[in-house]
Chain A
């Protein structure tokens, strides 16, 4: 049996129960306050570029989107393995970027506080790349280390507003946002209006959580220009989306994972990225540009200020701007190849892809593509909120 102590006895021993709890809480709060103050303050990241350890450490940590690189398969030696063999650099490659905003939320605390994220490089879409460069979180490339980038970047991607000389970024792949459908389940879906209203698609449609992709296509279907739109254009497109959601037409808003649902038949049609459909290797899945036009974007290789293997990362960039390597990668991922000369190399890898507009788009094909207007922080946050109110 437990020994029972009379209450007054306990008080005599110095510490009452209440005192103990209060004392403990006060102590804990004090420690927390110190810890809290310790981590605050210091917003600038200008001086936090770290020393490059590349000369002593042959390592490189990369975060990229899923299904965005070729893999070893039997006799086939992936570009990544070739890179490792050629340079002796051990690459830890993680496909953990599924959504720009989500990735941003994951690394912002470290980047903002000048702490390492454990990554030497990550690939983010234009607008997010612009945002990070603007915040001072990205290291400038040493041009002498990336001669292939200078020589081989296709002209249409050379001058972008947010990085006019490509001092901070190098396109990994570009791609289109359009419509995909499963032809074993439904007939051709040619426009966004069909996607949002056709009754045989009800509850079997997904849209992307990337606001610029989904809303860009919706604005196009309203006849507005996503590269230069007014608040009214935005409102009309949002209205359309919100109506389709309320009608139960839209089943979910997703990142890359839509492709599994499309193949499994849980969804019949969706807003999709051009390369995903090819990567799924399912002959029932079809990607097509909507009649009213599609969106174009690029994902960019970026080296964060706390990336500790900058020179290794630059070797990676230079390696992937070799036309031969670029062609091999393009043949696998089916996204738009940003490297000049890759098309010629493609002749010997897979001649059937030389004229594939998803990889080597002609000027005519590019005429139907649209970019998304660049937004400042406040505007972007407002639009993201509007969009999130409909998607969630």
Chain B
């Protein structure tokens, strides 16, 4: 008998799982159940009188047919942002793990520091930074990198930049944890065996950092896909993502069934993609 079983008896596992199960039941399963029933309800109802559950699968077909461009845009923007996060994050995490020396702690704190301010405030401050009359836009204009009447705000560039910025720490931290665990001696050993720096990176460092890469990309891509704040504040009507659409359907249109169906589609898509990705990357033994 293990120590736990001595305390809790035969059903130790169930007793231990109960608090978490209860929590998930109330705050996860219950909302999901509510979302699922709403998504299968008759859209003829309205938010005041409520909706009747008619198992109308048609909602999903309609949601997909009407709003697939928003889903596509979300995946595209989130994908690009994740790519930039990976490149920027990898370089930084590598530097912190191997080159920072005594500044390691300070640099890590600096990575986390933005979290002390709210997500919303940080995104709003980007509006100031990228303003049409701000110095960034004016500098870019004077360098002819941006047309005379060009702008950054209300463009896809601003939305992707905002996403990249906001989710960068979620990429850096898992990458850092992975890289930090790598024994520098392995690198030295590879050098002793006449591997050049490029070979050393791709054959030693990169494979060993894969758990961090997988974890980081998931932590970045998933919330970025569902994000709507960046598109709302930094974008224009032409850069709206699926989150904006869901929000509009819930709040202004008052069409809960289609909004719920679209949410479920987004969720299912992300779960499917993550499963595929994790299997492909073979992370079950990496993580």
Contacts and interface: CB of A to CB of B under 8 A. Distances in A.
- Contact residues of A: prevailing secondary structure: helix
Interface stretch (B196-204, B235-243, B271-279): B235-243
Interface string A375-392: 001100100110110111
A266 interface: yes
Interface string B217-249: 000000000000000000011101000110011
Nearest to B37: A36
Interface of B: 5, 10-11, 13-14, 17-18, 21-22, 24-26, 29-30, 33-34, 44, 46-50, 127, 131-133, 149, 151, 153-154, 236-238, 240, 244-245, 248-255
A112 B33 CA distance: 19
27 contacts: A14-B11, A15-B13, A20-B14, A27-B18, A27-B25, A31-B21, A31-B25, A32-B26, A32-B33, A35-B25, A36-B33, A36-B34, A43-B49, A101-B252, A102-B252, A105-B47, A108-B47, A203-B154, A211-B252, A250-B237, A266-B131, A378-B46, A384-B253, A385-B255, A391-B237, A392-B237, A392-B244
B251 A36 contact: no
Interface of A: 13-15, 20, 23-24, 27-33, 35-36, 43, 99, 101-102, 104-105, 108, 112, 131, 134-135, 202-204, 209, 211, 245, 248, 250-253, 264-266, 377-378, 381, 384-385, 387-388, 390-392
B237 A105 contact: no
Contacts of B47: 104-105, 108, 112
- Contact residues of B: prevailing secondary structure: helix
Nearest to B240: A392
B107 to A, nearest CB: 33
B46 A264 contact: no
A294 B34 CA distance: 42
Contact of B21 (A28, A35, A203, A391): A28
Contacts of A31: 21-22, 25-26, 29
B48 A377 contact: yes
Nearest to B23: A28
B236 A264 contact: no
B33 A392 contact: no
A134 B47 CA distance: 13
Given A35-B25, A112-B48, A384-B254, 4 more contacts: A32-B29, A248-B236, A265-B133, A377-B46
A251 B21 CA distance: 46
